[in-house]
Structures are given as structure tokens and as C-alpha cells.
Amino acid sequence: MHGSAFQPLTVETLPERLVRVTAVAEHVGGTGSSWRVREVGDGNLNLVFIVEGDRGAVVVKQALPYVRLVGDSWPLPLKRSFFEYHALTRQEKRAPGQVPAIYHFDEQQALIVMEYLSPHIILRRALIQGRQLPRIAEDLGLFMARTLFRGSDLHMETRDRKADLALFAENVELCDITENLVFTDPYFSAPMNRHTPELGPVVAELRADRDLKVEAQKLKHLFAAKAETLVHGDLHTGSVMVTESDTRIIDPEFAFYGPMAFDVGMLLSNYWMAFFSQRGHEAEGSREDMRAYLVRVIEETWAIFREEFARLWRTERRGMLYHRSLYEDQGDALGAEQALNHVIHDIWTDMLGFAGIEIHRRILGLAHNADFESIEDTKLRASCEAAALRFGRHIAVNRKHISSLAELDRLAKSLDQGL
């Protein structure tokens, strides 16, 4: 396949095109003609195939030269597959075992062959169903701490970090999606926006909210300019696959050098949205337990993230930032702890901002969350969404003056009950 022009795979052509790729044949087993191939891409951008054979199964993900959801009127470079591949290999090194194993990458065909995760399901789906996954707080807290710390100048050789910064700086189009759809469009009546009709008055209120609009743009400024570490770039509950005992992070095609707080804020905001959506899913019984679970997950995720980040700070801080020569080597370990407090505090503050903005764009922008979308009664849905919107506005605008998740737990509950 190397060297030939890009051609999208189909269920029919996949076996003959991949059977000679050793890494694929070995994992699937048998001859191509015995493979069972399904196309399961439910995302907005790519083709995703599950290929099963005598020995096992693999996932084949192929980019298309446009946004699948919209069609070829919205072109999108195949090179996003290259960024996804390079992000996956770096994440595997920094947080071993937390992303799917990669078997094969074909840059020209924009195609990645990877581990088939089974019986994993998408975390968002599980949370909508009211399932309480026991491992997500720990696994995702560790994943974020390890990838964000180890991809930064706290840990890497600066030369390598800058080479990676330059490599991922070319991921312009996917960053552009975030820059527009997350940080800008929700705050005015942009053409691709949509929202539940009953939200009209709240939306008008938010779009007239000067402090919010200034804060959203300051966060965009931070997103665009703070090239601190290799972020996943799209770390919501739809990018996580889970079982009771395993958690895997997928789809890092939005990866680029950005602020540490971005991944953390996006993940926690998706838990908060899950929280505010539960009221829309109570037809078959109370979701009180589920809300309590989500509050615990948010608290534990942050706590685990903070602890692991601090552990790495103390044991793996060998990059050029906050170097030991200035602290520990001068007998001033407390100086390093002081700096750690400041760094974590900045992540906390910015994380709240990114979380608030992410909530807004998922309710006012183009790409909505199934958590709310699956609530059919639009009046009920709008009531859940309005609480989430107000919560998002509060944490984005007041992020420098909020000190604890305990304050926010209380606020979320009050808003959910119609404060």
C-alpha cells in the first residue's frame, strides 16, 4: 500500500488491502477472505473498522480528507492521522498501558491499525446508562498527570520538547476547530451553532455577559499561546473506553503543545455535564446515587492528578524548569514545594476556566453531548442544560476566587435543584 495515492477503505476492500501487512495478519489470523469486517465509526471525522479473524481482532482507523459529519464541503487534512499516531506513541511511553496498542501506521493512507478493545464501551455511554465505573478516577488522574508532566520542560530535554512543539504546530486545522467551536462560536450567533429552543433567554443572557466573553477570550489566548506540554486536546468522556477493570484513552488527533490545564478542565467538565444530565434520565428511577458517584469521581480525579503530579515533581523533575540546582541542591526542598504549589494552583485556576467554556460549547455550539441530547423532553433537557450553563459561567468567570471542589459540589447541587 505504501507509495500509492490515498484511497478510503471499505468493508469490501479492506481485507485485500491489509492482508499483506504482517502486523495486521498476525493479530487477526487466517486469510483475508475469512475476515469479518464491520464499519463502526460513530464519530464525526473518520472511518473506523473492526476486523475479526481466527486469531483475534484489530481496529482500523482511517482519516478522510473532510469532516465525515458534514461532507466534503468541510475539508480536513489527512495528516491528522500522523498527529494521532505520534501522540499515541508518546502517550504510551509516558503512561504505559493506558492507550490502545498500535500495530501499524500508514501515513499516506492516513491509517492506524490498533488493538481492538473488548468488551470496552465508551465512558460517556456508560455514564448515561447510570453505570458506576470504579477505576476511572484513578486511571484518568494518573494518565493526565503522567502525560502532562512528562511531555513538558519539567521532565523532557528542552531540545526534544521544542522539536515536538514544531512537529505538532502543523496540526493547525484541528486546533482551529477547537479555537472556533469551543472558544468563539458559542458566544455569538455563529452559523453552525444550535441549542435547545427553550434555552433562548439563558443564551441571550450569556451572550450579553461581558465578563464571560472577556474570560472566554483570555482562555483562548492561553490555549493558543501556552505551549507547555503535549495535550490530548479532546479528552472528554467520548474519548475514553472502559470496563470495570480497565480504562483506555483514545482519539488524540487534536494533540498539540498547549496548557496542561486544558485536558484536565475538559475531562472534569464532561463529568459535570454528566452530573447535570442525570435529572433527564430519571424516568426509570432516581439517579441520586449516580450524582453522588460523579461528585466523588470529580474529587478523586483531581486528587489523584494532584498527588501523581506532585510525586513526579519530587522524583522526575529533571527538565530545565524549577531545576533542583536552585532548591534541593541548596538544601531548600521547601522552595521546590512552594513552586509546586504555585504550578498546581495555576493548573487549578485555568482548569476551571477551560471547564466552564467546554460546558458552554457543548450546549450552545455545533458539537453536542449525548448526555443531554439523549433527553427527549426538550423542556426537561433545557432545564438540565440551563443549570450546566450557569455553572459553567460561574466557574469560568470566578476561577481565580474558587478554592475547592467542595464549594463547587455544593453549587452544582443547588443549581441542579433550581437555585
For its own copies, which is the closer residue by CB, 334 or 419? Answer: 334
- Nearest distance from C-beta of residue 305 to its own copies, angstroms: 19
Q: Comparing C-alpha atoms, which of 397, 413, 212 is closest to residue 405?
A: 413
What angle in degrees, to the nearest 10, is found between the helix axes of 333-364 and 260-277? 50
For its own copies, which is the closer residue by CB, 153 or 205? Answer: 153
- Nearest distance from C-beta of residue 321 to its own copies, angstroms: 5
Site residues (vs its own copies, CB under 8 A): 152-153, 158-159, 162-163, 165-167, 169-170, 172, 175-176, 179-180, 184, 187-188, 190, 207, 210-211, 213-214, 216-218, 220-221, 224-228, 257, 320-323, 325-327, 329-330, 332, 334-335, 338-339, 342-343
For its own copies, which is the closer residue by CB, 9 or 154? Answer: 154
For its own copies, which is the closer residue by CB, 89 or 338? Answer: 338
186-215 b/e (C-beta count within 10 Å ≥ 16 → b): bbeeeeebebbeebeebbeebeebeebbeb
Please give the full DSSP string across 302-326, using - where no structure is assigned.
HHHHHHHHHHHHHHH--SSTT-GGG
For its own copies, which is the closer residue by CB, 32 or 186? Answer: 186
- Nearest distance from C-beta of residue 324 to its own copies, angstroms: 10
- Nearest distance from C-beta of residue 227 to its own copies, angstroms: 4
Question: Half-sphere exposure (CA, 13 Å, Cβ side) for 9?
Answer: 31
CA distances from 105 to 17, 83, 112 (A): 14, 11, 5
For its own copies, which is the closer residue by CB, 222 or 380? Answer: 222
Q: Which residues are registered as beta bridge partners of 52?
A: 36, 57
- Nearest distance from C-beta of residue 260 to its own copies, angstroms: 10
- Nearest distance from C-beta of residue 235 to its own copies, angstroms: 19
Q: What whole-number distance in Å separates Cα of residue 120 and Cα of residue 126?
A: 10
Cell of 244: 470495570
- Nearest distance from C-beta of residue 17 to its own copies, angstroms: 33
For its own copies, which is the closer residue by CB, 296 or 345? Answer: 345
CB 159 within 8 A of CB 108: no
For its own copies, which is the closer residue by CB, 219 or 295? Answer: 219
Q: What whole-number distance in Å separates Cα of residue 343 and Cα of residue 332?
A: 17
- Nearest distance from C-beta of residue 102 to its own copies, angstroms: 25
CA distances from 225 to 83, 173, 175 (A): 19, 16, 12
- 3-state DSSP call for residue 342? helix
Residues with Cβ within 8 Å of residue 355, at least 6 apart in sequence:
265, 266, 268, 269, 272, 392, 395, 396
- Nearest distance from C-beta of residue 221 to its own copies, angstroms: 5
For its own copies, which is the closer residue by CB, 121 or 224? Answer: 224
CB 75 within 8 A of CB 66: yes
